[in-house]
Amino acid sequence: MRHLLTRVCAAARPVCRIRLRALAGGLAVTASVLVGVAGLARSSQAQVAINAVGQPDMSDPATQAAMEAAMEDAFDNMPFDFGDLPGGDGGLFGAATASPMTDQDVGKYSTLLNFTPEQRDAAKVIFKQRMENYQDRAKAVREEMSKAMKEMMSAIREGGAPEPNKGAQERMEKVGLELQAEQKKMEVGVLEDLKALLTPEQQGLWPKVERARRIDKALRSQTMMMSPGYRVDVRAEFEKFAAARKGDAALPTAATTAVSESLGNYELALDSDAGAVLAIDEKMQVMGRSKDGQMPDMGAIFKAMGEAGEIAQRVRQAHERVSREIMLALPEGAQAAWNEAFGTASYPKIFRPTHGQRVLAAALKFEDLADEQRTTLTALSERHNASLALLRPKAVTELVEQQEKQNKALKEGGGPEAFAATMMPGQAGARQDMKTADTEALKAVRAALSEEQRKRLPKRPAAGVPKEMQFWKDDEKK
């Protein structure tokens, strides 16, 4: 294991260089991901590995299993999953090459513009056509980027961490710039299509769409991807929350009216920070472009990331303020449910059900449980849920404090080393306590069940290491 982590550490710098080249095409997501690998390489285990000697046998199943476990743990500690990102498909480049506009966006803007059913149908048809054209280009970009990453991972697996191929760098930068142009073309085209559908009476509503668009783009900023609690769309989450409450649980009109007013004021204030986020994104794209074959100014890039982190902190605080206003406007019986919904949307890897909770829920549905087993599992579930309910807020606080340290380190010119050192939460704190509690709960569940019942328990899902980074596996075996 130590040898493998040494390999990751040695590989982190050249891989990060390739990814930072991709900033020019708006692919900052991959830069952040690979800094995450650098974070793994600077974990306590990897510090021991720095002085290790010898070459691991990548064909050895035990070695492959050890490497997979280490990478799974590293990605589990990241504040996001690839599938959580807009356009994320679990792959390394899915979110980076996703369409800049979604059908949900078109639906939202159609509502803001008071479109008739006929106008809505026309907007959907036009958007579908533009989306099909864009997806063809995005697919080619993903294939090109994946090919380059596979070459890097193959080199690592075979025992080296070579400097990136200059031709590959130039190819990636070129395709990234082309993608950026396609994304801009797609966005401008859709907005122009919507505007062409307006009646004279609807023209005055267009500024609402412009503001909503700025906020949508800012919340999807890849520069801000690693900022905890930043990406949540509070209005969308509340609309989903309200729609799910039916019958006697439906929210009273007075509450939804108060919430609507709070969200309107929040979005007016958020628009200012949205403009700052988009300016940072543009700045990062320009800074990431190579000049005369020279690498971008890494120090300047990481300092700009520190500035971006401070903006992200303001946005997160705005989210939290309006969430509290929403909670206070709701009936008492709905307040806890809203807090849970907001927490899950803001910090999904902290608030979503743990594997232990999923296993307990599945076990309690077994029809062949004896009375004693059901009593034991019910009590265990209640204790475990209560324990996690106490730990989750602490985990959020630690994650936010970690982000603040990261922003400070970057603004002070610490560069990639300072960034990586603050990124990974390490082996202590509430997140680790949650994992420990989950492990103990799983042991207790298995102890309460028969061997045949244990076989029916759900398997632990993978943490989501992108296939392009699974360098311990041969391509044909992935």
DSSP 428: -
Q: Which residues pair with 291 in a beta bridge?
A: 294
Amino acid of residue 294: Q
d(CA 15, CA 8): 10
Query: If we measure between CA atoms, which residue out of 349, 384, 377, 379 comes closest to residue 363?
Result: 377
Q: How far is CA 243 from CA 237, 240, 251, 329, in A?
A: 10, 5, 9, 16
Q: What is the pLDDT of residue 369?
A: 95
d(CA 39, CA 74): 8
Question: What does the block give as tokens for 196?
Answer: 């062409």
d(CA 231, CA 98): 16
Task: Kindly report the number of other CB atoms within 10 A of residue 219's CB atom.
Answer: 20
Q: What is the pLDDT of residue 374?
A: 96
Q: What is the pLDDT of residue 181?
A: 85
Helix (H, G, I), strand (E, B) or coil at 294: strand
| pLDDT tens for each residue of the chain, 478 residues long | 334 444 443 333 333 333 333 333 333 333 333 433 333 333 333 333 333 434 556 566 666 666 666 666 666 666 555 555 555 544 556 666 778 888 899 999 999 999 999 999 999 999 999 998 888 878 877 777 777 666 666 665 565 444 555 566 666 677 777 788 888 899 999 999 999 999 999 999 999 999 999 999 999 887 887 788 998 999 999 999 999 998 888 999 999 999 999 999 999 999 989 999 999 888 887 776 666 666 677 777 778 888 888 899 999 999 999 999 999 999 999 999 999 999 999 998 899 899 999 999 999 999 999 999 999 999 999 999 999 999 999 999 988 888 888 788 777 776 666 666 555 444 568 988 999 999 999 999 999 999 999 999 998 876 556 665 565 565 545 4
Q: What is the pLDDT of residue 178?
A: 79
Q: How far is CA 460 from CA 142, 291, 359, 396, 457, in A?
A: 29, 47, 9, 23, 9
Q: What is the pLDDT of residue 295?
A: 66
Helix (H, G, I), strand (E, B) or coil at 291: strand
- What one-character-per-residue DSSP string does 79-127 give? S--GGGSTT--SSSSTTTTS-SS-HHHHHHHHHHTT--HHHHHHHHHHH
Q: Which residues pair with 294 in a beta bridge?
A: 291
Q: What is the pLDDT of residue 139?
A: 80
- What one-character-per-residue DSSP string does 350-387 give? HHSPPHHHHHHHHHTT-TT--HHHHHHHHHHHHHHHHH
| Residue ranges of E strands in 319-461 | none
Helix (H, G, I), strand (E, B) or coil at 143: helix
Query: If we measure between CA atoms, which residue out of 98, 398, 345, 385 comes closest to residue 221?
Result: 98
Residue 23's contacts (CB-CB under 8 Å, 6 or more residues apart) are 31, 176, 284, 285, 287, 288, 289, 296, 301
Q: What is the pLDDT of residue 71?
A: 64
Per the CB < 8 A criterion, the answer to whether 17 and 290 are in contact is no
Q: How far is CA 405 from CA 34, 300, 424, in A?
A: 20, 18, 12
